[in-house]
Amino acid sequence: MYCNKTYHLMKQNIEQLKQTASQVRRDIVRMVHGCQSGHPGGSLGCTDFLVALYFNIMNNDPSFNMDAKGEDLFFLSNGHISPVFYSVLAHAGYFDKSELGTFRKLNSRLQGHPTTHEGLPGVRIASGSLGQGLSVAIGAALAKRLNGDDSIVYTLHGDGELQEGQIWEAAMFAPHNKLDRLIATVDYNGQQIDGPTEMVLSLGNLKAKFEAFGWEVLEEPNGNDMASVVAVLEKAKSLTGKGKPIAILLKTGMGYGVDFMMGSHKWHGVAPNDEQLATALAQLEETLGDY
């Protein structure tokens, strides 16, 4: 058996998590503005989830070891929301937050979509081409099982990403092999590049679909309410080790926190101009200092 360690990343309470989330949202709009490219909408929508995960839920080590033996793991499958991922990693201590200013610029480790190629601590797989992250997470969970390591593997997926067939290959494999230390979260914001998901290609009853494959499914309608996000992740954790993988359908608002970006697919991949940046920052409290 592998001896699991406990890492002492400062565990934040709900109020602190909200403050961190506000700072992460400031980072997101500044990063995307800085290079005039990137994906602010989904990043803002997933901020509460990633902040809760890294600052309250996961047992992970910011000193970073690729093999991650004895620690929880997170895989970002929808790699285009890299701004929120990079900001959370920087604030968690994986690398210096001053590096956030290099996002999507030449010679940066912060590629438009995450990669291991540049050796950025905290990133264990490249993602961007959609649909591959659940398979990778399952592989990592299998390795943990072989290593006698009962840490948890977390993933995040876009709802539009579920249109990729590979997701369902993986969704079939995990319950068949009783991978029960796997928590996959779907960012259920109902938007994708070409419009509302239900217009582009309907996802149908996602809860019923995952359940039919053999998953335990949790639904969280308030994916931008910090206390609710922490609660659903705690609930998911309590369901691990019971023979089934766990899926969380997390309803979020694309662009949450910046009024003119909220709820519209138009801010999926568009950068704010100077004026829009100022408007956005005025809505987001600075709590930890900008990079």
**Residue ranges in contact with another protein by CB under 8 A:** 66-69, 73, 75, 115-117, 124-129, 131-144, 146-147, 149, 165-166, 169-170, 172-173, 177
**Whole-angstrom distance, CA of residue 56 vs CA of residue 46:** 15
**Whole-angstrom distance, CA of residue 263 vs CA of residue 261:** 7
Closer Cβ to another protein, 128 or 269, answer by number = 128
253, 258, 263, 264: CA torsion to nearest 10: -130
Closer Cβ to another protein, 115 or 276, answer by number = 115
Residue 163: is it exposed, middle or buried by C-beta count within 10 angstroms (0-12/13-18/19+)? Answer: middle
* Closest to 72 (Cα-Cα) out of 185, 151, 147: 151
Least distance in Å: CB of 36 to another protein? 25
Closer Cβ to another protein, 186 or 258, answer by number = 186
Closer Cβ to another protein, 1 or 10, answer by number = 1
Closer Cβ to another protein, 20 or 111, answer by number = 111
Least distance in Å: CB of 139 to another protein? 2
Least distance in Å: CB of 98 to another protein? 26
Least distance in Å: CB of 62 to another protein? 17
Least distance in Å: CB of 83 to another protein? 19
Q: How many helices (H) and strands (E) does the chain have?
A: 10, 7
**Whole-angstrom distance, CA of residue 169 vs CA of residue 167:** 6
Closer Cβ to another protein, 126 or 270, answer by number = 126
**Whole-angstrom distance, CA of residue 55 vs CA of residue 39:** 23
Residues whose CB is less than 8 angstroms from the CB of residue 17 and which lie 6 or more positions away in sequence, other chains included? 48, 51, 52, 55, 56, 226, 230
* Count of other CB atoms within 10 angstroms of residue 132: 20
Least distance in Å: CB of 104 to another protein? 17
* Count of other CB atoms within 10 angstroms of residue 243: 12
